[in-house]
Structures are given as C-alpha cells and as structure tokens.
Amino acid sequence: MLITEETRSQLNELVKFSFDANAVVDNYAYNLAYYHFPNIESIVHKSFAHKFPVFADVITDMMIELDARPVRKGIISHEEDFEGNLYKIFEGVLGLCNDYRRSIITAIEVAELNEDYEVKIKLEEFLIMFEPYRKQADIWFKYAERYQDDYKSFDVHFKDFTVLIDIE
C-alpha cells in the first residue's frame, strides 16, 4: 500500500459518505416526484443524486491506483417525508453539500498530515471538481426560499436555475 492506513480509512469514510449522500438525495427526489414536482425531480435525481456514486468511483479508483483497498461500508435508510416543502428539501441538499465538502477537506488534511501527497493532490482536484455541485445547491436553496409561496412556478422554471451542472 502506497498510503498510510489513516489516509486509507479516511478515504473509505468518504466513499461511505458518497453512497449515503446518494441515498439522501434519492429520498429528496422521491419526495419531489411524489408531491408532483416532475421537472425538479428529474434534474435533482439524474443530474445530482446520481453523481455521488460517480464521486465514490473517483475515490476508489484513486485508492486502487495507490494499492489501497477500498471497502463498501453500509449506509442507513432515509425515509423522511418532506410533505412537498421545497425549502426544507433544498436546505437539506445545501447542508449535505457543505458537509461533503468538509469531509473532502478533512481527508486532504489527513493525507497531508501523513505525507500521502498523491492523495492530497488528487483530493484537492476532487474538491475543485465538486465545487460546482455545492454552489448549484446554494443557488437552488436561494430560489426555493424566494419561491416558497409558488412552488409550482419553481418547478416550471427549475431548469433555468440549474446553471452550474450538466443536465442529463
């Protein structure tokens, strides 16, 4: 293994967080579909939630390149009903993204502390790659706040508010 056990462990935690983030955002998307926000659901589900397993693959591919064994840790279920409250959903999406960003930074700090410089550099690149998703969540949250009295219009115009990530 070309990296320390501490760094490997932190990377596996980031992989776990990636899959958990996918599950959290999937639950938001299911809420959006159930409460009849089809435009928002489609973008959040396909263009946002589905990116977190891709992020996990980026991390595990890096680990394999460095002879470190990734593991797929278990995640918990996410079943909360948001009753169509888009403000609460996008507050959650933004909070999740801020926590994910912080987790990447923690992994960078652990790698640097352990002189695992390849990991540090690759995670810094990963952090930059993730930033448009965090910022997009911030934009969505601000619009959800503005449209609290007209969520149907928010759904109609949601694509217009999605400017930093590719829409599938």
Assess whether pLDDT exceeds 80 at residue 168: no
The answer, yes or no, to whether residue 43 has pLDDT greater than 90, is yes
Domain definitions of the chain by residue range:
5-71+83-158
Contact 96, 21 (CB under 8 A): yes
Give me 77's structure tokens. 């279920």
HSE-up (13 A, CA, CB side) for residue 115 = 0
Secondary structure letter of residue 158 according to DSSP: G
Q: How far apart (Å, rounded) are the C-alpha atoms in residues 78 and 43?
A: 20
Which of 159, 126, 128, 141 has the alpha carbon at shortest distance from 37?
Answer: 159
Q: How many helices (H) and strands (E) does the chain have?
A: 6, 0
pTM, two decimals, is: 0.96
DSSP codes joined into one string, 93-131: HHHHHHHHHHHHHHHHHHHHHTT-HHHHHHHHHHHHHHH
Picking from 140, 145, 130, the residue whose alpha carbon sits closest to that of residue 56 is 130
CATH dotted code for 5-71+83-158: 1.20.1260.10
Asked if 101 and 137 count as a contact pair (C-beta separation under 8 A), the reply is no
Determine the distance from the C-alpha atom of residue 138 to the mean position of all C-alpha atoms in its chain, rounded to a whole number.
12
For the chain, give the mean pLDDT: 97
Quickly state the pLDDT bin for 2 (edges 50, 70, 90): confident
What does the alpha-carbon distance between residue 79 and residue 106 come to, in Å, rounded to a whole number?
A: 28
- Above 80 in pLDDT, residue 1? no
